[in-house]
Amino acid sequence: MGGNDDLREQEKALEQLSPFQLKDRLIKLAQTRHERLMLNAGRGNPNWLATLPRQAFFRLGLFAVAESQRTCNGSNMGGPAEKEGLLWRFLDYAGEQAGQPGVSFLRRCLDYVKTDLDLEPEAFLAELVDGILGDNYPTPDRMLTQIERVVHKYLEQEMCAGEPPAGRYDLFAVEGGTAAMCYIFNSLSENKLLHHGDKIALGAPIFTPYLEIPHLNDYELVEVEVMGEEKNDWQVPPGELDKLADPAVKAFFLVNPGNPSSVSMDQADLSRLAELVKTKRQDLIILTDDVYGTFVPGFRSLMATCPRNTICVYSFSKYFGATGWRLGVIAIHQDNVFDKAIAALPRADQEALRRRYGSVTLDVAAMKLIDRLVADSRSVALNHTAGLSTPQQVQMALFALMSLLDRDNQYKQQAQAVVGKRFKDLYQALDVPYTPSPNDAHYYATIDVLQMAQANYGPEFAGWLTASYEPVDFVLRLAQEREIVLLPGAGFDAPGWTVRVSLANLKDEAYPEIGRQIKSLLEEYQAEWKKRRP
């Protein structure tokens, strides 16, 4: 590839694509050569998974099917499991299968929900058995009651660092963080909390859908960037956070820890935002997407520091290696500003909402936002069949219970060590200095190629690079010449010459190679510059 005008125009067009759409083109480029195996570090799907809760899931499933066969004599046919005596039959089953993986874990789960959550083990087991069989609609449709208690405790531990605020959260189990995002945008709009033309602040850089969805005709929101500083480990300077003091900014959406930055808000920023909400912006809507929180030691979410104002989205996908399971949850504190804001809407809006939700409840005015989310997720008319599938909820509960029972955090330490080692190996191969931070999740690395160019070869070369090439040229050449797929940071609203490396989805030995190839390609540009110098 060269620096000609036609090519630059083509590359400018490519820069308009979402990085995830551009990724498909990069993969095709990388597959045109076969001397090496392609290294696709463009997607955040982890290459590890939690085995114990899966073993428990399938072992529980076999028990549940056997229970269903007790009530029906038909060939290949079962019936609803009987609750009476269920616990004793399971204990007998667990004794017979004591050496099988996952069985002792299930017994520990029953002990835990009794001693730590004050749940009746038999009622909990009955919900799991019925849920894993999937022979009933989710009831309640928002989330199964026993499983909600388990996931609530998990969020208190992992999102609130074990120190949750007073009160409780209502949870809505959803089909991953993706569904949560779609449902929340829709319900905030339908319930007149966001209107076309409203300003919303985005904690940038940010996961691309948060940049793209507000522009859709459905919403037509105006974006205000609250930009983290690259030089300060992507933390938000006070002047940027002060943008949220403007009452015209209706909402603040962020991914925390960030994507692509992979860094969480530090305690100073959390405290500053909490103070701003308390003193100036009691009405501010906060949406925080905390899927990477478990990779930061001692992580604390805005759902803990600003509970009344925050809608929290959490997905089990990354930490447990469960992207295919589509497991997510929306959490809203029972004492929140959203329900109060809806109650204070003008009469005409209240009447419109009464007509919208009137088929769901006779008392629409008392309907919580969390329940409106459930109804909206099924276009209201199908509210009676809403809810995440019950087998998915069972697997979610078993994931949560594994962490709750892991008193020494062995799994967490393993997961954090995997990405931490890859991060270190990548930077060593790049020969780029890096100061460790307690806020780092290490799930992604955001490499600033322009900074590397200036540090290694001086400002004159860096200036030539930006004058001669579009930033996307680097990832295109990396794919075509080196068979390495990375995403351009610009698509996440990061600086133009940054690239995002997923540290989750390749083998350990791939990351030093990626670092070497990034460095080598930059040397190739530098050699071209030297040839062209007068």
Q: Is 137 within 8 Å of 374 (Cβ atoms)?
A: no
Q: Is 398 within 8 Å of 420 (Cβ atoms)?
A: no
Q: Is 205 within 8 Å of 263 (Cβ atoms)?
A: no
- Please give the pLDDT value at position 1: 44
Domain residue ranges in the chain: 5-44+410-532, 52-136, 145-389
Is residue 140 reached through a cis peptide bond, with omega within 30 degrees of 0 on the bond before it? yes
> Which tens digits make up the pLDDT trace of 470-485?
999 999 999 989 999 9
SS3 263: strand
> Which tens digits make up the pLDDT trace of 107-163?
999 999 999 999 999 999 999 999 999 999 999 999 999 999 999 999 999 999 999
Q: What is the DSSP letter of 333?
A: E
User: Cα–Cα distance between 155 and 329 in angstroms, integer?
Assistant: 10
> Which tens digits make up the pLDDT trace of 362-404?
999 999 999 999 999 999 999 999 999 999 999 999 999 999 9
Looking at the chain, the whole-number percentage of residues with pLDDT higher than 70 is: 94
Looking at the chain, the whole-number percentage of residues with pLDDT higher than 90 is: 86
Q: Cα(first)–Cα(last) distance of the chain, in Å?
A: 22
- Please give the pLDDT value at position 39: 86
What topology is assigned to 52-136 in CATH?
Histone, subunit A (1.10.20)
Residue 31 pLDDT exceeds 60: yes
User: Cα–Cα distance between 101 and 78 in angstroms, integer?
Assistant: 25
With bands split at pLDDT 50, 70 and 90, how would you rate the model's confidence at 219? very high
Q: What is the pTM of this model?
A: 0.94
CA 349 to the chain's CA centroid: 32
User: Cα–Cα distance between 10 and 17 in angstroms, integer?
Assistant: 12
What topology is assigned to 145-389 in CATH?
Aspartate Aminotransferase; domain 2 (3.40.640)
Average pLDDT over residues 230-252: 94
H or E element that contains 375: helix 369-376
What dihedral do alpha carbons 288, 293, 297, 302 form, nearest 10°? Answer: 20
What topology is assigned to 5-44+410-532 in CATH?
Aspartate Aminotransferase, domain 1 (3.90.1150)
